[in-house]
Chain A
Amino acid sequence: MSEQGLVLKVEEYRIEEEPYYEALGSEIEIFEAAYANHLPVLLKGPTGCGKTRFMEHMAWRLQRPLITVSCHDDLTASDLVGRFLVKSGETRWMDGPLARAVRCGAICYLDEIVEARKDTMVVIHPLADDRRVLPMEKTGELLQASDGFCLSVSYNPGYQSVLKDLKQSTRQRFVALEFSYPSAELERKVVCSESGIDVSMAVNLVKFAHMTRNLKGGGLDEGASTRLLVHAAKLMSSGVAPVAACHSAISQALTDDADMLSAIDELASSLF
Chain B
Amino acid sequence: MSNTDFNQRKAVQRQLDEWLEVEFTFRETDELIEPLFALPVKTRRFVLNWVERIASAHTEMAYQFALKSTHALTVLDEAGVESWLLFVLEQYDRSGLQPAMAVIHDVENFQQHRFERESGSLYEKKAAILTPFVRGLSGRALKLEVSRDDSAWTDSETLYLPALVARLSDKKDNFLLHKAMAAHLWAQTRFGTFQCDWLQALSVYPDPRQALALFHALETIRLDSCISRYLPGLYREMQRLRAALDDTAATAVFARQASVLQSASAQSRDSLQLLGKLYGDCKAPVCCYQGRMEPQIVQSVMRARQQREKALIRVKLAEMAEEHARQKGREPTDSEFDIQQKADDELNDHFEFELSIQEDALTVPPDLAQMLTSVMLDFSEIPNEYLTPAGPGEYDLSAYDETAVESEDVWKGAYHEEGASLHQEWDFARQCHRKQWCVMRELEVKPLYDDFYQQTMQKHARLIKSLHRTFEMLRGEDKLLKRQTYGDEVDIDALVEAYADTHYGLEMSDRLFTHKHKVERNIAVMFMVDMSGSTKGWINDAERESLFLLAESLQILGDRYAIYGFSGVTRKRCELFRIKSFDDAYDAETRARISGIEAKDYTRMGVAIRHLSGLLNQVEARIKLLITLSDGKPEDYDGYYRGEYGIEDTRMALYEARRDGVHPYCITIDKEGQDYLPHMYGAANYTVLEDVAMLPLKVSDIYRRLTT
Given A1-B510, A272-B232; A86-B495 close (CB under 8 Å): yes
Chain A residues with CB under 8 A of B508: 88-89
Nearest-Cβ distance from residue A138 to partner chain B, whole angstroms: 8
Task: Report Cα–Cα, A35/B347, bound state, in Å.
Answer: 36
Nearest CB in chain A to that of B485: its residue: A5
Residue B129 CB within 8 A of the other chain: yes
Most buried by B among A183, A206, A267: A267
Contact B233 A188 (CB under 8 A): no
Given A84-B490, A89-B499, A89-B508; A267-B137 close (CB under 8 Å): yes
Task: Report Cα–Cα, A267/B130, bound state, in Å.
Answer: 10
Residue A2 CB within 8 A of the other chain: yes
A188: contacting residue among B141, B347, B485, CB under 8 A: B347
A266: contacting residue among B129, B347, B486, B513, CB under 8 A: B129
Task: Report Cα–Cα, A88/B510, bound state, in Å.
Answer: 10
Given A86-B495, A210-B138; A219-B132 close (CB under 8 Å): yes
Contact B485 A263 (CB under 8 A): no
Contact A259 B485 (CB under 8 A): no
Nearest-Cβ distance from residue B226 to partner chain A, whole angstroms: 13
Q: How large is the interface on B (under 10, 10 to 19, 20 to 34, 35 or more residues)?
A: 35 or more
For chain A, the count of residues having a C-beta within 8 Å of the partner chain is 46
Contact B233 A263 (CB under 8 A): no
Task: Report Cα–Cα, A5/B347, bound state, in Å.
Answer: 49
Contact A86 B138 (CB under 8 A): no
Contact B132 A218 (CB under 8 A): yes
Given A210-B349, A214-B138, A259-B128; A4-B485 close (CB under 8 Å): yes
Nearest-Cβ distance from residue B340 to partner chain A, whole angstroms: 13
Nearest-Cβ distance from residue A187 to partner chain B, whole angstroms: 10
Contact A264 B132 (CB under 8 A): yes
Chain B residues with CB under 8 A of A83: 486-488
A267: contacting residue among B136, B490, B495, CB under 8 A: B136
Nearest-Cβ distance from residue A74 to partner chain B, whole angstroms: 8
Chain A residues with CB under 8 A of B490: 84, 86, 91
Residue A36 CB within 8 A of the other chain: no
Query: C-beta contact mask, B488-520 vs A, less than 8 Å → 1, else 0?
Result: 111000010011001000001010110010100
Nearest-Cβ distance from residue A259 to partner chain B, whole angstroms: 4
Nearest CB in chain B to that of A76: its residue: B488
Contact B349 A207 (CB under 8 A): yes
Query: C-beta contact mask, A190-222 vs B, less than 8 Å → 1, else 0?
Result: 000000000000010011001110110011000
Residue B411 CB within 8 A of the other chain: no
Task: Report Cα–Cα, A268/B232, bound state, in Å.
Answer: 11
Chain B residues with CB under 8 A of A91: 490, 495
Residue B17 CB within 8 A of the other chain: no
B350: contacting residue among A2, A4, A210, CB under 8 A: A210
Residue A185 CB within 8 A of the other chain: yes
Interface residues of B in 224-281 (CB under 8 A from A): 231-234, 237
Contact A259 B129 (CB under 8 A): yes
Contact A78 B488 (CB under 8 A): yes
Residue A63 CB within 8 A of the other chain: no
Task: Report Cα–Cα, A268/B233, bound state, in Å.
Answer: 8
Query: C-beta contact mask, A135-163 vs B, less than 8 Å → 1, else 0?
Result: 00010000000000000000000000110
Query: C-beta contact mask, B328-349 vs A, less than 8 Å → 1, else 0?
Result: 0000000000000010001111
Nearest CB in chain B to that of A208: its residue: B136
Most buried by A among B136, B234, B510: B136
A-B contacts, 5 of them at CB < 8 A, read A4-B485, A78-B488, A203-B347, A214-B137, A243-B233
Closest CB pairs A-B (n = 3): A5-B486, A270-B234, A259-B128
Which residues of B pack against A, CB within 8 Å?
128-133, 135-138, 141, 179, 183, 231-234, 237, 342, 346-350, 352, 484-490, 495, 498-499, 502, 508, 510, 512-513, 516, 518, 583, 585
Besides A184-B350, A243-B233, 20 other A-B contacts (C-beta < 8 A): A2-B485, A5-B487, A76-B488, A83-B486, A84-B490, A88-B508, A162-B585, A183-B352, A184-B347, A185-B347, A188-B347, A206-B347, A210-B349, A211-B136, A214-B141, A219-B135, A263-B132, A267-B136, A270-B231, A272-B232
